[in-house]
Amino acid sequence: MEDYLEKLPEIVECIKDIKDTIITNIVLIGEKPAPTFREKERAKAFMERLSEFNVDECTTDSYQNPVGIIRGTSSEKSPIFVVAHLDTFEAKENYFDYAVRKDSIIGPGIDENSAGVGVLISLPLILKKLNIQLKSDIILAGVIQSVGKGNLRGIRQLLKTWPTPIRAGVVIEAVELGRLNHTSGGMIRAEIDCSTASVKSNRSQRERINAILVLNEIINNILELRLPQKPRSEIVVGRISGGIDHGKDALSANIGLEIRSESDAIVKEVNNEIRDIVEGIRNEFDVELSLKTISNLNASRLKYNHPLVKSASSIMKKLGVEPVSEASESELSIFLSHKIPAVTLGITKKDTDNPDDAIRIEPMFKGIAQIVGVLQAIDSGVCDG
Amino acid sequence: MGSAMGKSWLESNTFHHSEFKDIDFLIEKKREKNLKISLCLPTLNEEKTIAKEIIIMKSELMSQYPLLDEIIVIDSGSQDKTLEIAEYYGADVYASNDILPNIEAFKGKGENLWKALYIAKGDIIVYLDADIKNIHHRFSYALIGPLLHYDHVKYAKAFYDRPISEGDKGIRPTGGGRVTELVIRPLFSLFFPELTQIMQPLSGEYAGFREIFENLSFPIGYGIETSMILDIYHTWGLNVIAQVDLDRRIHRNQSTKSLGKMSFAIMQTFLSRISEYGHINAKERLFNEMIQYNQVQSEYQQEIFKFEQPERPPIVEIPEYLAKFKNSGL
């Protein structure tokens, strides 16, 4: 293990030498829009780029996740998965215009997760350039239908249908460099829809109902819920929309929220409490109100002293990156729920000076070196115990 | 127009970029013919797009596939970070004014393209505008493709669907460029119907052999694309020209007023050329001022733009060029 740790600074420099191609990959993949459920164009570009880099196999699985395989030297070793979600929160389907500056790349969705995908498809070239051949096959997967309502369908299907045991998984996220996620909290992602359209005509002017205010009442009730500090739990109301004009009562409104906890039982309990709140408000205001679960995850974890976590931490420290461990609700949960050791790693830092989606280029080289180091650690057997 | 007037050119000399995507084959041809290829990007304040253009071309057509031998940027005096960025990402950067310092310097795209011939080492020169938002390496290899595939082709010109970027509003598809449809195509139809087969004669992306470019005069401004097409057609005929569909090019929208000025310069070049060819005798009667009007409150104010449009002679007539490329055996 020490051998590749020592080589990490050299690896960073070597990766810098091919920055043109890494940036090109990020741009070419990022400029293909991939809203969840409509990732076809980006998946095609993913496959084309992998083919150009002469990966040993390039295909899609039965769920249309694009997958490339770099063959290892030993047929006895199970494959290592490296995944990045292909879809973006950005709903636009037109061409995205990316811009490259001296120290940053700017474009819609670059930090979520186009840079991660761009680095993923650069791995065949990076490993070739570094003259690294692992014993395990490396499976490079750009998983579709991950974010939001996608509910991690792509990775769920990929792992469910993969025919062989899997040695370990590495999940790539564009940001932030330093993240070392190895636990996944329980989570329910839900939407509350309120519509007053069907009841409005029966009411007098004084009694009229505003859908935004109804949801506000629900939010107030949610904020009064008591959540335990341990297991750590939280409710995040992350999205709200409704109404059409400043001077008109909103006929419909919607909020999106996540219930997160280290305990599945608490997630379930809080979800039930929110359901009761919604039911109560619905009866009180006599409006159409619904709570829909759009995504859920069970809590799972890789212990902090697992050799994979310890190795990843050492690699990051060697690169001068301070590891930060927080629970992550992502592809990681699906690996862990299959009892596959896995971590999520960030590639670079957001360019916070830029008002648009932007990442910084320079930290990316350490971020990529860290991926290479972790792959080598896995290949050396840290997950085989 | 029918088949008698050259429909076969449209069929035989029009290509789609996908026909040239086998870059290994192009490299093999380049090696067989012992050619060097230069990519030239003329710039003026292009800091927003220049890095992406250089990085993609360098990565795909120099690092991955050794098709290009060099990327050169010839700049007209950018005030932004164009030069710094271009240099940082590995292009060979030149200020136009520093090239051939013993002759009077002009400012304009044509000037940059002409001076690039003195700087570039290539037997084939690819010229791309530096403001292409959706740049892809096909913009280069697909223009080089016909030159390497077909011995009779000496000059390849791009054409596109040309959606115009409207910021946050997305992309608006258009038929063709407004100046092409309203100015050039009518003029070609009047004087050179054969040339109407060229879909976008004003596109700023083309490639050709040095032996063609070095024998052409270069207007320093907007007229360069027009004069190039006319002169190549006049001297070598249509068959040396190919056109390649590059699918889509996203560019900045321009105001009607700007396009008016561009149209003026193009018509100036066109009329001047056909006078030289003896088609009409109009040259002496042409004015060199474009007059536009602005309404300021209740008054109309005249705005006059003077277009001198000097032309560079064929660079093969310049002694420094001859010394560098002919005497040295390059």
Indicate yes or no: CB of A24 within 8 angstroms of CB of B171. no
Identify whether residues A107 and A214 lie together within a single domain: no
Indicate yes or no: CB of B170 within 8 angstroms of CB of A98. no
Q: Which of residues 44-73 of A touch B (CB under 8 A)?
A: 52
Query: In a 3-state reduction of DSSP, which class is residue A269?
Result: helix
A24 touches chain B (CB under 8 A): yes
Indicate yes or no: CB of A27 within 8 angstroms of CB of B64. no
Identify whether residues A205 and A283 lie together within a single domain: yes
- pLDDT exceeds 70 at position A201: no
Identify whether residues A267 and A287 lie together within a single domain: yes
Indicate yes or no: CB of B134 within 8 angstroms of CB of A95. yes
pLDDT band at A124 (very low <50, low <70, confident <90, very high): very high
CATH number of the structural domain spanning residue A17: 3.40.630.10
- Tens of pLDDT, residues B296-321: 888 888 888 888 778 999 999 999 99
A91 touches chain B (CB under 8 A): no
- Higher per-residue confidence, A274 vs B132: A274
Identify whether residues A199 and A78 lie together within a single domain: no
Backbone angles phi, psi at A32, to 5 degrees: -90, 115
Q: How far does the CA of residue B302 sit from the closest CA of chain A (Å)?
A: 38
A97 touches chain B (CB under 8 A): yes
Q: Which of A130-134, A164-168, A311-315, B165-169 has the lowest mean pLDDT?
A: B165-169
Q: Which residues of chain B have pLDDT under 70?
A: 1-7, 162-176, 251-252, 283, 327-330
Identify whether residues A89 and A190 lie together within a single domain: no
Indicate yes or no: CB of A24 within 8 angstroms of CB of B59. yes
The Cα–Cα gap between A64 and A161 comes to 12
Query: In a 3-state reduction of DSSP, which class is residue A348?
Result: strand
Residue A384 lies in a domain: no
Identify whether residues A157 and A54 lie together within a single domain: yes
Identify whether residues A280 and A304 lie together within a single domain: no
The Cα–Cα gap between B17 and B146 comes to 10
Strand residue runs (E) in A148-274: 168-175, 180-181, 183-184, 186-195, 233-242, 252-261
Fold of B7-327: Spore Coat Polysaccharide Biosynthesis Protein SpsA; Chain A (3.90.550)
A347 touches chain B (CB under 8 A): no
Question: Considering only CB atoms, which chain B residues are within 8 Å of A102?
Answer: 51, 81, 84-85, 88
Structurally, chain A folds into a number of domains equal to 2
- Tens of pLDDT, residues B273-288: 999 998 888 767 788 8
Residue A34 lies in a domain: yes
A101 touches chain B (CB under 8 A): yes
| Chain centroid to CA B304 | 27
Average pLDDT over residues A335-356: 94
Identify whether residues A125 and A206 lie together within a single domain: no
- Higher per-residue confidence, A96 vs B243: B243
What DSSP assignment string belongs to A20-49?
HHHHHHHHHHHTS--BTT--HHHHHHHHHH
Q: What is the pLDDT of residue B3?
A: 42
The Cα–Cα gap between A287 and A209 comes to 8
Residue A76 lies in a domain: yes
Q: Per the structure block, which two tokens stand in for A379?
A: 């290949």
What Å distances lie between residue A134 and A14, A75, A138, A234, A357, CA to CA?
Answer: 18, 11, 8, 41, 35
Residue A40 lies in a domain: yes
Q: What residue spans define the domains of chain B?
A: 7-327
- pLDDT exceeds 50 at position A192: yes
CATH number of the structural domain spanning residue A268: 3.30.70.360
- Higher per-residue confidence, B114 vs A202: B114
Q: Which residues constitute the domain of residue A233? A: 186-297
Question: Which of residues A297, A330, A361 is at a domain's end?
Answer: A297
Q: Per the structure block, which two tokens stand in for A323?
A: 């590891």
Indicate yes or no: CB of B133 within 8 angstroms of CB of A97. yes
Q: What is the pLDDT of residue B222?
A: 83
The Cα–Cα gap between B317 and B315 comes to 5
Contact A155, A146 (CB under 8 A): yes
Q: What is the pLDDT of residue B8?
A: 82
A271 touches chain B (CB under 8 A): no
Identify whether residues A168 and A307 lie together within a single domain: yes
Interface A–B counts its CB contacts (< 8 A) at 52
Q: What is the pLDDT of residue A350?
A: 95
Share of chain A above pLDDT 90, in %: 81
pTM of the model: 0.86
Q: Are β-strands A342-348 and A168-175 bridged in parallel, bridged antiparallel, or unpaired?
A: parallel
Question: Which of residues A253, A275, A297 is at a domain's end?
Answer: A297
Identify whether residues A347 and A199 lie together within a single domain: no
Question: Which of residues A281, A297, A313 is at a domain's end?
Answer: A297
What Å distances lie between residue A142 and A123, A152, A352, CA to CA?
Answer: 13, 12, 26
Q: How far does the CA of residue B116 sit from the closest CA of chain A (Å)?
A: 24
Q: Per the structure block, which two tokens stand in for A136?
A: 């395990």
- pLDDT exceeds 60 at position A206: no
Find the chain B residues whose C-beta atoms sit closer than 8 A to any C-beta of A: 47-49, 51-52, 55-56, 58-60, 63-64, 81, 84-85, 88-90, 133-134, 136, 165, 170-171, 248, 250
Q: What is the pLDDT of residue B287?
A: 85
The Cα–Cα gap between A140 and A70 comes to 8
Contact B13, B6 (CB under 8 A): no
- pLDDT exceeds 70 at position A123: yes
